[in-house]
């Protein structure tokens, strides 16, 4: 039972943290999220990105792009997520759609890490 509670707690806590972190970026921004799929969960992770996460995020106001990349011969992934503004990214993170889509991804991974970047060129 304890093994199930910790990942669930991490999922509940991860989304508000993403929303609260203000990158103080004017103009377009890009978020990089680094995740490592749990052993044997790579195909499920990629399917969840394609069928759950991408449709949810791409429907949001200000969405520019989302890419899922995998380091060859590993279970290490990077998601590049871009919005027109930081405000629009924060609104995505606070949305009901994010509260369903992001935990669906992170349930298949070890603890995610992320950082935000200002888009310099091309805007």
Report the pLDDT value the prediction gives residue 14, as an integer from 0 to 100: 42
pLDDT at 11 over 70: no
87 inside domain: yes
Q: Which domain holds residue 89?
A: 2-118
123 inside domain: no
H or E element, residue 42: helix 42-48
53 inside domain: yes
The residue to which tokens 């609104």 are assigned: 91
Report the pLDDT value the prediction gives residue 23, as an integer from 0 to 100: 79
pLDDT at 1 over 50: no
Report the pLDDT value the prediction gives residue 100, as an integer from 0 to 100: 97
29-36 β-sheet, strand order? 63-70, 76-83, 29-36, 113-118
60 inside domain: yes
Q: Give Cα 105 to chain centroid, integer Å.
A: 8
By percentage, how much of the chain surpasses pLDDT 90? 77
Q: Give 5-11 contacts, CB < 8 A, sequence gap 24+.
A: 7/107, 10/106, 10/111, 11/103, 11/106, 11/107
Report the pLDDT value the prediction gives residue 15, as an integer from 0 to 100: 44
Domain count, the chain: 1
Domain CATH number, residue 24: 3.30.70.100
76 inside domain: yes
pLDDT at 91 over 90: yes
12 inside domain: yes
Q: What is the DSSP string of 53-88?
A: IHHHHHTSTTEEEEEEEE-TTSSEEEEEEEES-HHH
Report the pLDDT value the prediction gives residue 21, as an integer from 0 to 100: 60
114 inside domain: yes
Whether the Cβ atoms of residue 91 and residue 14 lie closer than 8 Å to each other: no
Tens of pLDDT along 55-82? 999 999 999 999 999 999 999 999 999 9
């Amino acid at each position: 039972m304890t093994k199930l509670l910790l990942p669930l707690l991490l999922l509940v806590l991860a989304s508000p943290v993403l929303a609260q972190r203000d990158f103080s970026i004017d103009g377009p921004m890009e978020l990089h999220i680094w995740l490592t799929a749990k052993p044997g969960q790579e195909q499920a992770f990629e399917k969840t990105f394609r069928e759950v996460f991408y449709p949810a995020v791409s429907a949001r106001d200000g969405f520019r792009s989302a890419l899922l990349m995998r380091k060859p011969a590993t279970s290490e992934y990077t998601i590049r997520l871009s919005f027109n503004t930081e405000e629009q990214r924060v609104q995505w993170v606070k949305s009901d759609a994010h509260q369903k889509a992001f935990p669906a991804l992170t349930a298949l991974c070890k603890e995610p890490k992320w950082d935000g970047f200002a888009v310099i060129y091309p805007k």
